[in-house]
Structure 1
Amino acid sequence: MARTATCTARASLVERRSIGHIPEAERHGNLRSQFTLWFGANLQITAVVVGALAVVLGGDVFWSLIGLLAGQLLGGAVMALHGAQGPQLGLPQMISSRVQFGVYGAIIPLALVCVMYVGFSAGGTVLAGQAISELLHVGNTSAILIFSAAVILLTGLGYRTIHAMGRVSSIVGALAFVYLFASLLHGHAWGALMANRHFTLASFLLAVSLSASWQIAYGPYVADYSRYLPQSTSPLKTFFAVFAGTVIGAQVAMTFGVFAAALAGERFAGHEVAFVVGLGATGAIAAILYFTIALGKLTITTLNAYGSVMSVAAIITGLGQRREISGRTRLVFVILSVGMSSAIALAGQHAFLKAFSSFLLFLLVFFTPWSAINLVDFYCVTRERYDVPALFDANGRYGRWNKVGIVVYLVGVLVQMPFVATGFYTGAWVAALGGVDISWVVGIAVPGALYYVATRVGGANVPERLILPEVASGVEPR
């Protein structure tokens, strides 16, 4: 009976679990799938747009590429450290926040994460809608609705389907970008673009911030997609598989964006999808490129929708003291999340580029302190020794509210405000720094150090070893 349940769990196309711990008997997958998932997720049109922003907002080609790479390495390291938590804990990413914030206190970053998913999905849906509209010869509204229906279907299927999409997207995306680079650079003296260097600190740090924010924004859900790996999987190898996939994929896409913005100028900005597809010489190639754009956005938007389910489920189960949600409830959450992002996409599809830039940068204010606190706690304070059953018990080891984590988080947000430079808000010290936004650096360093010192001085409730639920087979009790 137990063996049958385990085999069914392994073979089922539709994922049966939500936020509960994944028993070892149900673990599967390999590190190659971690690379392909994040490589494929980053080879997409939105990353191209982000890379282009480095030039559109004043940078040159050479230093924009260097700045983007630096940001990839810094932000990718933060992101991949979160990914390495997945196999060890067997839990979605944001559940671990209950250690630092308390079972109820974790709702604070969880609610903000939900806003992030909706925002990113809305931006991606605009670009996917443009591609589907041209591919199927339908209106933008119909294209967005078709895209949203596909996201709901794939997210409902869950973990296995998402990783399968990652493998397909990595192959299709790689082939498409080889063609796009060849078409874009053919006949252009791109070497002259690289030679035209006018370094300014503000433009360079903007490029760093763009790519670092792109990577750090993955942090709240990266472990969602590594939690099914066997617990024996090396954390270091997990780190490098995720890191290599996300850094290489994003840098390739953003590099294309830099060259496209530099060579095409106004023909690219605001017309990203049309310009990319315009590189296809024939109708058939253009159709393939439209399909590639839609597939890339489908992959990452499915990741966002799935992550939103994990976050909403974490909020609901935290309040209700449950370990899982039903499949029907999960589907309702998916529909609500995708519905909200689709509504925003329909309302704001004509003013995307600048709004997305401001949104992306402003997100750092809220997620760099969370990343710093979570990583310092996991790697330096608790040293991977979590009491997993207590994460689902408001009266347990971690309690309802962790005042230390919450206060440090709020300080981490507030201390960044003088350094923020976005369309939403500009801090008082930005002008003195020549317009440079260094808030994300402050947002990692200050709360990380404060949390470490506070837990060392005040002590932390750390078990002697990692404590996992005792589940023989099947789905854990609710």
Structure 2
Amino acid sequence: MKIETRSIEYIPANERHGKPRGLFSVWFAANMHITTLVTGSLCVTFGLNLFWSVVAIIVGNLLGAIFMASHSAQGPKLGIPQMIQSRAQFGVIGAVIPLILVIFMYLGFFASSGLLGAQVLSSALNLNLTVSIIILNVITFIVTMVGHDLIHKIQKYLTWVFFLVFIAATVIVFKLPVPAGSWSPSGFNLPIFMLSVSVVATWQISYAPYVADYSRYLPIDTNYSKTFWYTYAGTILGTVWMMVLGVLLTTAIPNFLSNSGTNLANQFGSLSIIMFVVIILGQLSINAFNLYGAFMSTVTTVEPFSKIKVTPKVRMFFVAGIAVVGTLLSILGQGNFLSNFIDFILFISYFLIPWTAINLIDFYVVRHGEYSIKDIFDLNGKYGKINKITSISYIISVIAEVPFMNTSIYVGPGAKAMGGADVAWILGLVVPSVLYYVLMKRKLKSEETIEGPISFEDEQLHKI
């Protein structure tokens, strides 16, 4: 397959291809890996029993995936990567703020997923852990260099592999003995339940910066409802499946999380090599997403200041540089993975969720999907350099979350008053949605009054 020639630019109609049903395998396979399993396991780590952990997993995924899949539906309409769309809300320069946060997120997930995969490779082949990290990340680099179509094709075939192997894994795991009362609905703890739902919902919402990257090549006339539902179904099925296995294994096996991949593979006995291979494939799969997204976001961040042309050589420079940084983070983070991962995923939610709320409100409610692609790439275009309304809405939203945060570093007074419940993510959705909608609608209305009606010809120039 040829190296992808497009990066952050608009995908013209003659290069569009694929069908929305292909997004099911993309997002199903993207979640069938150990990092998802470990995230689900956190519900038990926090203190929930099996019954309430499964409920928290289902509730958190059903809620979080609504926002994630709504971003996916933007891809065919706009034909550009997810994060560059932020320029329409934040301004061409203002969008650098969420972009930097998202790059940090990609690097964090790249490092954590790479480390988990390397632990399995190290155990299976008795390799040094650092060497294992490097080997897997070199393979990830090659897949990312080829790009979009190869990632889609890999996910299509991995869907069948994961489905068959994890059916067998599910049968084995559900036979494991668990402590008495694990499936009892008694002993409900609301604060811990809310914290667990927050982490699970954040897992889905953290995919928001990824999704349009993989739907932007679909034909312009693609049914947006189908784009949403295929994405939603794939991500829900894959995530819930893996997270439920995670809470079962963590409950049944003491110290399961000390080396989750190897402990899972060992359940297959003499056939453990099959699970070792599947786990490694899963980590390679999701890390190609992380590296690809980091590449897109880094180019988007640099582009307003340099107007670079992304040739294959430039692409290699960016992808290799990001891979090196992520590899160093994996190597440095070997000793204290679990606590670092919990803090990392919660930290992301406080900054990422207000962004997703603003982006979706703007697309679906304020502008109804009508954007000028030309102006998204123009420093002096209609979206401006910095949108003060968006910046103010975003900053106020993050401040509103602070009293309700709950991490190992800081627990806000609101979270303490509720026994440790973390509801910051709810405020992170509601506050920016209301603020941005009210202020932005007022601004656009005043601009229409000043400028007068737009001619049909001018209107078409501002559309795709």
Matched, 1:275 2:263: yes
State the distance in 2 between where 1:327 and 1:366 align.
Answer: 32
Matched, 1:128 2:113: no
The secondary structure found in structure 2 opposite 1:230 is: coil
CA contact (8 A) 1:75 1:215 kept: yes
Comparing 370-379 with 197-206, greater Cα deviation is found at: 197-206
Q: Which residue of 1 aligns with 2:304?
A: 318
Task: Say how many residue pairs are matched.
Answer: 454
Q: CA RMSD in A?
A: 1.7
Matched, 1:144 2:130: no
Alignment of 1:368-447 (within 5 A): 368-447=353-432
State the distance in 2 between where 1:173 and 1:468 align.
Answer: 41
C-alpha deviation, 1:196, in angstroms = 5.6
Counterpart of 1:456 in structure 2: which amino acid?
K
Alignment of 1:46-125 (within 5 A): 46-125=35-114
CA contact (8 A) 2:137 2:323 kept: yes
TM-score for both structures, normalised by structure 2: 0.95
Task: Kindly provide the CA deviation profile for residues 309-331 of structure 1, in whole angstroms up to 9, marking residues without a partner as x.
Answer: 11011011122346x52221111
The secondary structure found in structure 1 opposite 2:370 is: coil
Selected match of 1:363 from 341, 348, 355: 348
State the distance in 1 between where 2:461 and 2:123 align.
Answer: 52
Counterpart of 1:406 in structure 2: which amino acid?
S
CA contact (8 A) 1:317 1:325 kept: no
Task: Kindly provide the CA deviation profile for residues 347-377 of structure 1, in whole angstroms up to 9, marking residues without a partner as x.
Answer: 1112111210111011111001100000000
Task: Kindly provide the CA deviation profile for residues 130-170 of structure 1, in whole angstroms up to 9, marking residues without a partner as x.
Answer: 11123333211111110010011000000011111211221
Change (3 A) 1:201 1:227: same
State the distance in 2 between where 1:405 and 1:190 align.
Answer: 50
Selected match of 2:318 from 333, 341, 349: 333
C-alpha deviation, 1:176, in angstroms = 2.0
The secondary structure found in structure 1 opposite 2:258 is: coil
State the distance in 1 between where 2:188 and 2:97 align.
Answer: 40
Q: Which residue of 2 aligns with 1:210?
A: 199
Counterpart of 1:105 in structure 2: which amino acid?
G
Q: Which residue of 2 aligns with 1:260?
A: 249
State the distance in 2 between where 1:321 and 1:445 align.
Answer: 36
TM-score for both structures, normalised by structure 1: 0.92
Q: Which residue of 2 aligns with 1:290?
A: 276
CA contact (8 A) 1:70 1:208 kept: yes
Selected match of 2:292 from 280, 283, 306: 306
C-alpha deviation, 1:119, in angstroms = 0.4
Change (3 A) 1:326 1:187: closer
State the distance in 1 between where 2:219 and 2:328 align.
Answer: 39
Selected match of 2:219 from 213, 230, 233: 230
CA contact (8 A) 2:178 2:252 kept: no
CA contact (8 A) 2:21 2:227 kept: no
Q: Which residue of 2 aligns with 1:4?
A: none
Structure 2 unpaired stretches of 5+: 449-453
C-alpha deviation, 1:187, in angstroms = 5.6
The secondary structure found in structure 2 opposite 1:219 is: coil
The secondary structure found in structure 2 opposite 1:356 is: helix
Structure 1 unpaired stretches of 5+: 1-11, 470-478
The secondary structure found in structure 1 opposite 2:414 is: coil
